[in-house]
Structure 1
C-alpha cells in the first residue's frame, strides 16, 4: 500500500544524546574508517579504545592525539565488556557484523561504519559548541546533505555559543531565586541570549558580558544596545564573511551605504529596520556626524545595530570616526572585516598585487586627500616600484596620471581599471599610465572603479580586457568579465 504523506514525515529514529564522559567507547578496526570515528570521538570526554592487530599511521596519530588506548590483537567479544558504545570499522562486512552481534549480546548500542542496515544508531554530522551540541542525520540516506546542513548551522552558531551557555549556568540558580515568576524568567533568558550579553561575549568581552547579565538581573530594563561595523565586501553575496552573515541576522537595525547592493542588505532579518545613509562621491545624502548620531540613538534605545559598509569598514570607510563616537559615548561595539575592493578587483582580474622580483610593496590610496589635493605622499612609493591600488579615483584619473608622469614614473607603466569588481556587470580595462586620463571621459563607466598601477599588471593575463582609451563612437568601451 502507498505510504501516506503523514507517515512519510515520521522518523525512523529518535534523536538522543548518549552520555560518554569517562566511559569506554570502543572502535574495532585499524584503518581510515576507524581513524575517522576516533577523530569524531575526540571531541567528547569518552575513554577511546581501539581494537586491531595493527594501526595504520593515520589512525595511530588520531588515537595518540585523542589520548586513547590501543588494544592490540584480533577482536574478541569479551573486550566489549563495560563499553558505552561500539563502532565496527574494519571495512569488512562479515567482521563488522560479528562485532555488532557481539555488542547486542552485551546490550551495547553498535554502529557499523557505512552499513546502515547493521546499525543500532547513526552518527550525525556534529556541530560542537561544548557544552552545546547539534547533530544532523539523514538516517544514512544522504550523508553529504547532512554535512551541507551542518556547514550552514556552523555559520549561524558563533564559537562563543558554548561560553554563553556556561555563563548562563553560573546565573541559573540566582535567576530562579530572584525571578520566581516563570514568564518573567523566560523574558530574562530571552534578553540574556539575544541581547548585549551575547553580543559582548561574542566580541571577546567576557567581563562586560557578565556585567550586562548582572544588570539584567537587577531589573534594569534599559538595554544598552550594541553596534557592529560590518564590511559587506565588494557586493557579491557569497563574499560576505560567516560572521557578517550572522550579525546581519541578529541586528534590529541595519544602517547601510548606497554602494551596498540590495541583495546584501536583504540578508538581514526581515523585521529589521533599514536606514539608508547612502554616501556617493559628490552626493552625500547623510553627513557623517548625522550617521554617528543615528548609531548612538539606536544603540541607546537598546537595539543591536549593524553599520553596513561596502568593502572593508577600516579601509576608506570612515570607521575611525564612528568608532571614536561610539567609544566616547561608552557604547559597546565590534568590527567585522570585509573583502576590500582592491582584493576583489585583483582576484577577478587575476592581477597579482605583489610579485617576487617585481613588486614587494602595496599601497592603498585615494585619488585625493581630505583637502582635495591630488596625489599625496604615496606618489613616491609608486616611483619606487610599489603597486598602487587607487580607490575612488575616476574623477581625478587624469590628474593622477599627470602628477605621476611629472614625478618621473614611466608613461608606459601598465594600468588596469576594474569597474563593479566581483559584481554583475564587472568590466576590465587595461592600458598604460598615458591612457589613464581617458577614464574621466568615458560615459559608459558609471559604477565604482578600482585603479591598479604598477608592473604587476603587465604580469597578468589581460586578454579579456578592453582598452582604456575610448574606441570609436558607438562602440562599447568595456569588456564584461565572465562570472
Structure 2
C-alpha cells in the first residue's frame, strides 16, 4: 500500500492539456551560469544569480556600468564578443537576455544541443526553464510561476503574498533550519515530526516572533520539543468530499486531507479533490461498484483499524456527505467499538450540489414545499419505500441510485398516483467539468436514460422544480430536453392499492 495510490499501481492522475512545469529549486552555489547579453535585463538576471551564489559568466560586446563594476571587482566573468556555442562549455544553465531575436534563438538551439537548460527572457517557446517570481523570507522561498505564459499575473500574486508573509516567517525558517538535526533525532518518524511542527505552528511561536520576542520564542520551542509525546495515537476523520467540484470542499475537509497519513477514498471522489490532499500520503481506493470490483465494507473497517492502530491519521474520504447514504454511521459505530478516536467533517451532499449546478431549486414556493432524499439500489430496497408518500405532488424527489432501477421507479410512482407528465432531470457527473443534464417527463424516464447511455455518478431530480433546469441553467453545457425515440405506453394504471 505504498505510493500515492496504494492498491492501484495502474491508476494515474489525468494529464492536463498543457503539462505544468516541474518545480525545481536549483543549488547554483559555486556553479557557472552563462548570461548572454550585457544590458539592463542581463544585469537583473546576473544579480539574482549572484544572490544564489552562482558564478555568472556574462557574454556581450558591452556591459552596463553595474555589470562592468562587478567584473572589475572579480564577481563575474566577462566574455567579450558575440555569442559562440563554445561559451556553453562547463555551464549548468544559460540565460539569453539580449534584444536580438536571432541571437536568442541561437542560444536556445545551442543549449538544446548541449543538453543545457536555457531561459530566453520573455520567450516561453524557446525556454526550457522559467524564472519564477519569488517571495523570500530568510531561508524560506515561495516561487510563483505561470509557466511563462502570464508573468504579470505571477508578479501580481507575488505582491499580494509580500503583504501576507511578514518577517516572522524568516525567523521560523531559521529556527527550524538551525534545529533540524535535533528535531530529527528527537522524532525519527515523519508522522511524529509533522505533528510536532503542527503543534508549534498552532501555538504561540509565530506570535512571539511577530512580537520580536526571539528569546521567548526559542524557550517555547525547546519546551515543546521536550514535552511532546513521541507515541502518537492514531485517529480517523470521516470526511465528505462533495460531488466532485473541488471548490465545494470545506476548510475542515482540506485541513483533514492535508494532515492525513492515509486517505481511504471512494471510487467516485474526483481527481481534482484528491490533488488537494497531502502529496506524500498513502492513497487507497476503497470504492464500491455495482458492475466492477468493489471493496467490502468489512475490508474498509479493517483498513481504518490497521492504520489507526499504528498511530496514523486516517481520512475516510467519501463522495457527497458521509451521513447521507454514505454508511458513515456504520463506520463510526465500528470505530467506537474498537476505541479509535474519530471526527466527522460533513460534505455537500449530491442532491444539494448537483441540483444547484443544474439550476434546480429543490424547494420553490410555487412548486415544491418539501424534499425527500431516496436511494434505491436494488429491488429489495424498492420494497421498503413508502411509495404512496413518494408519489405525492408538490414535492421534490432526489433519488441517489444507479440507472438500472429507473423503470421500476417510474412504474411504482405512476401506479401510486404520480402523473406521467411529471418533469425530471437526470444529472450526470454533477458539478464536474463533464456535467450533463437530461430533462424530460416521468413517462419516458428509463428509455431516455438508456438511449442517452447515462452512467454513474448520476442523480435523479423528480418534480415540478426539475422543469426549471432549462431556464435557470448556469453551469456547463445547457440541459438536453431528451425525448427517447420510443417509450412505453403501457404504464401501470394509477391506483393507490398497487404493490
Instruction: Report the Cα offset of residue 342 of structure 1.
Output: 1.4
Aligned to 1:330: 339
Could you tell me the TM-score, scaled by structure 2's length?
0.53
SS at match of 1:450: strand
Hey, what's the Cα distance between the residues in 2 that align with 1:260 and 1:6? 47
Give the paired residue count.
Answer: 314
Contact 1:382–1:388 (CA<8 Å) still a contact in 2?
Answer: no
Instruction: Report the Cα offset of residue 282 of structure 1.
Output: 4.3
Q: Does 1:349 align with 2:361?
A: no
Instruction: Report the Cα offset of residue 297 of structure 1.
Output: 0.5
**Which of 222, 242, 245 is residue 251 of structure 2 equivalent to?**
242
Q: Structure 1 residues 461, 373: CA separation in 2 closer, same or farther (over 3 Å shift)?
A: closer
Q: Does 1:383 align with 2:392?
A: yes
Q: Structure 1 residues 315, 150: CA separation in 2 closer, same or farther (over 3 Å shift)?
A: farther
Q: Structure 1 residues 400, 142: CA separation in 2 closer, same or farther (over 3 Å shift)?
A: closer
Instruction: Report the Cα offset of residue 5 of structure 1.
Output: 3.2
Aligned to 2:195: 194
**Which of 262, 277, 281 is residue 268 of structure 1 equivalent to?**
277
Aligned to 1:74: none
**Which of 289, 305, 329 is residue 320 of structure 1 equivalent to?**
329
Hey, what's the Cα distance between the residues in 2 that align with 1:151 and 1:287? 50
Deviations 1:257-282 (A, max 9, x none): 11123343233222211211121124
Deviations 1:295-325 (A, max 9, x none): 0101101111111111121211111111111
Aligned to 1:5: 45
Q: Structure 1 residues 147, 388: CA separation in 2 closer, same or farther (over 3 Å shift)?
A: farther
Aligned to 2:403: 394
Aligned to 2:261: 252
Aligned residues: CA RMSD: 4.3
SS at match of 2:303: helix
Instruction: Report the Cα offset of residue 337 of structure 1.
Output: 2.0
**Which of 362, 365, 368 is residue 374 of structure 2 equivalent to?**
365
**Which of 463, 470, 482 is residue 484 of structure 2 equivalent to?**
470
Could you tell me the TM-score, scaled by structure 1's length?
0.55
Q: Which structure ranks higher in relative contact order (CA pairs < 8 Å, sequence separation ≥ 6)? A: 2
Hey, what's the Cα distance between the residues in 1 that align with 2:185 and 2:348? 43
Q: Does 1:225 align with 2:265?
A: no
Hey, what's the Cα distance between the residues in 1 that align with 2:374 and 2:163? 37
Aligned to 2:308: 299
Structure 2 gap segments, 5+ residues each? 1-38, 52-139, 145-152, 166-181, 204-222, 487-499
Hey, what's the Cα distance between the residues in 2 that align with 1:185 and 1:468? 65
**Which of 288, 301, 305 is residue 279 of structure 1 equivalent to?**
288
Q: Does 1:145 align with 2:157?
A: yes
Matches within 5 A, 1:41-190: 145=157, 149=161, 185=186
SS at match of 1:371: helix
Hey, what's the Cα distance between the residues in 2 that align with 1:409 and 1:448? 25
Contact 2:286–2:294 (CA<8 Å) still a contact in 1?
Answer: yes
